[in-house]
Amino acid sequence: MVGESRPDELPQIMDQLHTGITLRFTTTGIGGSTSTTVTFANLLDAWFFAGTTTNGYQLFDFVRVRRVTVRAVSGSNSGGSTATVGIEFPGLVAGGNAGGKQASNSGMGISKAVMVQLRPDKFSAASFWQPSSNDVAFVLRSTDENNAVIIGTIIDVELSYKNSADVSPAALASPIAGATAGNIYFGGIDGGRLAATWARSVFVPRL
């Protein structure tokens, strides 16, 4: 009949998992640094599964950044009266489609909320699909007038993930402990565990 396909002409299908998510993190003050550098490996480590109680693996094989948002409140930990937040897509890897895009915002007054939001350039490395690597995706900053990191800064990272049948799951850069084999977990924004990360995930379960 007209409009019907032949049984020997099969439609094309996609045989991979592809999803988008906004991961949310909050700064811990660990390390005392007012900024942190986030790599593509860190972003893939931020959502992982436990193969055993001590071995974690990336859930996806490729990642791209859609948008990053940073929010902070002045005086949240030091009693200071200003807050400054910033995002940078440096793209310093030679031949890696540099972005060189950054933005900053400041707020004055106790308990004054401040926000900065930035998308990577359309044809920069951060906006393209990237495998797990130590290439820098973006840099984050959150500081008060005393040059102290603002604890409790909220960071939203809008990401797209996908896997590949031809790529074996990569092991996490930072070892895990006490996990339940087969469970899916969220990690810190810099690949660190809960006791060592600059910004931990607000989602649970997390390690």
Q: In this predicted structure, what is the pLDDT of residue 196?
A: 95
User: Which CATH architecture describes the domain 20-201?
Assistant: Sandwich (2.60)
What is the reported pLDDT for 92?
Answer: 67
Question: pTM of the entire structure?
Answer: 0.91
- Asked whether residue 2 carries a pLDDT value surpassing 60, the answer given is no
Average pLDDT over residues 110-126: 90
- Please determine, for residue 8, whether its predicted confidence score (pLDDT) is greater than 90: no
DSSP labels, the chain: -TTPPPTTSPPP---S-EEEEEEEEEE--TT--SEEEEEHHHHHHTEEEESSSS-EEES-SEEEEEEEEEEEETTSSS--SEEEEEEEE---STTS----EEEEEEEESTT-EEEEEE---TTSGGGS-EES-SSEEEEEEEEETTS-B-TT-EEEEEEEEE--TTSPPPBPSS---SPPTT-EEE--TTS--TTT-SEEESSSSB-
For the chain, give every domain's residue range. Answer: 20-201
Under the banding of pLDDT at 50, 70 and 90, the label for residue 105 is very high
pLDDT digits 0-9 by tens, 16-57: 889 999 999 999 999 989 999 999 999 999 999 999 999 999
